[in-house]
Structure 1
Amino acid sequence: MTRKPLSRRLDTGRHSIAPALLTSCIIAATLSANPAYAAGTLAGTDIQNIASATFDTAGGPVTIQSNTVVIKVDELLDVTVASTDPGDVTTSPGATGNVQTFRITNTGNGDEAFGLTANVANGGDDFDPTLQQIVIDTNNNGVYDAGVDTVYTSGVNDPVIAPDQSVTVFVITATPAGVVDTNRANVSLNAVARTGTGTPGTSFAGAGQGGGDAVVGSTTAQGTASGFLAVRATSVALLKSATILDPFGGNRPVPGAVITYSLVATVSGTGTMNNLVITDPIPAGSQYQAASITLEAAALTDAADADAGRFTGTSISVAAGNVPAGQTRTVTFKVLIP
């Protein structure tokens, strides 16, 4: 029996070829494009792949397509936690409402709820504060706003964080009355993926966003960070106020008006606040009035000399010295609205 040429054997109208012949055909594969995230493609994304083969027949070129292969991307469970305080948070004996700030970042590839716990009894420090609240930064301004931000309740309002997004969380504590100056306390915040945790690679069938599995990533789906409270037996509060005298004897902030700024530093706690220095930049849109600095109503010079005052060209600075707790120091200076 005479064998048909290859082109004739393929020209059967069935538009299919044997697997052995597929490798000799031109195959085109197209993958759907997805944006890049910290942990890759978003969970639940369907990666679809269709191959094609083109060959010549007596009637002209013919293109066939393979079946569609669909792979659903699993959810990777990963999280990091970091303290965002620039250093130790100052506290004092018996103080309440200490605020420490942490940032929780979802480094996985799916929306994930995270459970939060704070540990105030870490070893290796000087004292254990009392946990008052964990609070979620509801208005996303990075600053604790009592009565505005949301008090966290485990299992009730666990923050749900999108991939590559962060949530700011505040840990609020109280300091025991018996602590002394320079004592420090280690306060940590822990976040765990509600879907599950475990060794990297642990899988939770069907629990991923979009219907795929959830797989524990390199962080074990939990993260912890520490911040420190530092006792200062004295603390200082600085209150700034302003009075205006306009050219007409009134108090309107018009050109020609003189603004007198008053800075009152109040030292509280116990002991002495050492080397207290009060500084204030000259506001934009105003001009410093020469020789207007006072400390406790006593005039100071603008030069960097023996007295406590100094005008730097852009700000005023007053060295108030060592101030015992319970005392105040008042600094004033004047600017002109040109």
Structure 2
Amino acid sequence: MKTRHHIRSHPNIRQSGYRKALLASITVALFSMPGAALAAGTLAGTDIQNVASATFDTAGGPVTIQSNTVTIKVDELLDVTVSSIDPGDIITSPGQTANVQSFRVSNTGNGNEAFRLTANVANGGDDFDPTLQQIILDTNNNGVFDAGVDVIYTAGANDPVIAPDQNITVFVITSTPAGVVDTNRANVSLAAAAVTGTGAPGTSFANAGQGGGNAVVGSTGAQSSGNGFLAVQATSVTLNKTATILDPFGGARPVPGSVVTYTLIATVSGSGVLNNLVITDPIPAGSQYQAASMTLEAIALTDTADADAGNFNGTRISVAAGNVPAGQTRTVTFKVLIP
């Protein structure tokens, strides 16, 4: 009987052992379940749930029991990066308005987040400070500044809300002072900061995260800035005028009947391109313009306002020399008669 009693009570002993094992396994499961170490890509507010189970034998057969459900709500991680997406320096010139620089603002956190934007045109270590005109949001998402289509940004009024792992393009519009010189550069930066809050990594904002969890500052401090550069290409032009005389006797004396050939040489210096160069010269009093005598780069021009670059309006000659790169010249000639 002792033996039978010992045998009958053995399942109870085993049940007690299983219960201890069950508690241990539940404890282990709660602290080691997959997903407890959250990845930044898991959407904020996501509920991670886990139920453990244990199976043990009884006299009536195997029994399975379940633990309570453990729910962990994923906190929102606040992270952002900002970078210039221009292929290089944006070329500007003295007094130029509407310089457009492009930046990408990326939400590297795991929740939908609004970001406050700030442009800085007074960064140190450069040659000049441009004037900030506007910050523009690329609302049609084509990556190109479309005046009148893309929306002007106003801090606190239309802070862009960016989904996790998504980005937006932001344009910073500036103007260049008139006093800059060739090769000057300006450092323009755009900063973005999470509206929910910024701070040292690990800083927590209770119940401020998407989905009702906390918001936790990530490795970027929930703020970032990117830098882009303006580079001045300043061109200047000098105009030199000379005259040669051919008199009726084969000499070079300015007597009646002499023909004077004027040569105008425009020299472009600096860097970049001088746009829409037009050279004009009034016909001197006491002389008469010689019809069809204009040339540009030794190519004959007509006097009428037509498809070519020359024009004589009765009192002056005008030659449209076009866009001239720095380091090049344009030469215009015309003739007058001393009556």
Match of 1:313 in 2: none
CA distance in 2, matches of 1:275, 1:24: 77
Contact 1:104/1:168, CA 8 A, preserved across alignment: yes
State the number of aligned residues: 249
Query: Does residue 1:135 correspond to 2:139, yes or no?
Result: no
Q: Any unmatched runs of 5+ in structure 2? A: 237-267, 275-295, 300-322, 331-339
**Superposition deviation, residue 67 in structure 1:** 0.1
Contact 1:31/1:47, CA 8 A, preserved across alignment: no
**Superposition deviation, residue 322 in structure 1:** 4.5
Contact 1:43/1:75, CA 8 A, preserved across alignment: yes
Match of 1:203 in 2: 204
Contact 1:46/1:73, CA 8 A, preserved across alignment: yes
CA distance in 2, matches of 1:326, 1:31: 77
SS in 2 for 1:87: coil
Contact 2:233/2:270, CA 8 A, preserved across alignment: no
* TM-score, scaled to structure 2: 0.65
Match of 2:88 in 1: 87
**Superposition deviation, residue 41 in structure 1:** 1.0
CA distance in 2, matches of 1:100, 1:297: 42
Contact 1:93/1:231, CA 8 A, preserved across alignment: yes
**Superposition deviation, residue 234 in structure 1:** 3.8
**Superposition deviation, residue 57 in structure 1:** 1.6
**Superposition deviation, residue 32 in structure 1:** 8.4
Contact 1:31/1:48, CA 8 A, preserved across alignment: no
SS in 2 for 1:134: strand
Contact 1:32/1:47, CA 8 A, preserved across alignment: no
Match of 1:217 in 2: 218
CA RMSD of superposed structures (Å): 3.6
Contact 2:235/2:326, CA 8 A, preserved across alignment: no
SS in 2 for 1:18: helix
Which amino acid is the alignment partner of residue 7 of structure 1?
A: P
CA distance in 2, matches of 1:161, 1:326: 52
**Superposition deviation, residue 55 in structure 1:** 1.0
Contact 1:234/1:325, CA 8 A, preserved across alignment: no
Q: 1:134 to 1:53 in 2, by over 3 A?
A: same
Q: 1:296 to 1:113 in 2, by over 3 A?
A: farther
CA distance in 2, matches of 1:197, 1:211: 18
Query: Does residue 1:116 correspond to 2:120, yes or no?
Result: no
**Superposition deviation, residue 60 in structure 1:** 1.7
Q: 1:209 to 1:296 in 2, by over 3 A?
A: farther
Match of 2:158 in 1: 157
Contact 1:22/1:53, CA 8 A, preserved across alignment: no
Query: Does residue 1:107 correspond to 2:108, yes or no?
Result: yes
Larger Rg: 2
**Superposition deviation, residue 19 in structure 1:** 3.5
Match of 2:258 in 1: none
Query: Over residues 171-225 of structure 1, what are the superposed CA-to-partner deviations in whole Å (9 max), with x where a residue is unaligned?
Result: 0001111111111111000000000000000000000101000000100000011
CA distance in 2, matches of 1:124, 1:33: 47
CA distance in 2, matches of 1:113, 1:59: 60
Q: Any unmatched runs of 5+ in structure 1? A: 236-269, 277-294, 299-319, 328-338
**Superposition deviation, residue 23 in structure 1:** 4.2
* TM-score, scaled to structure 1: 0.65
- Of Structure 1 and Structure 2, which has the larger fraction of its residues in helix? 2
**Superposition deviation, residue 274 in structure 1:** 6.5
Contact 1:112/1:160, CA 8 A, preserved across alignment: yes
Match of 1:252 in 2: none
Match of 1:282 in 2: none
Query: Over residues 287-314 of structure 1, what are the superposed CA-to-partner deviations in whole Å (9 max), with x where a residue is unaligned?
Result: xxxxxxxx9998xxxxxxxxxxxxxxxx
Which amino acid is the alignment partner of residue 153 of structure 1?
A: T
* Identity across matched positions, percent: 69
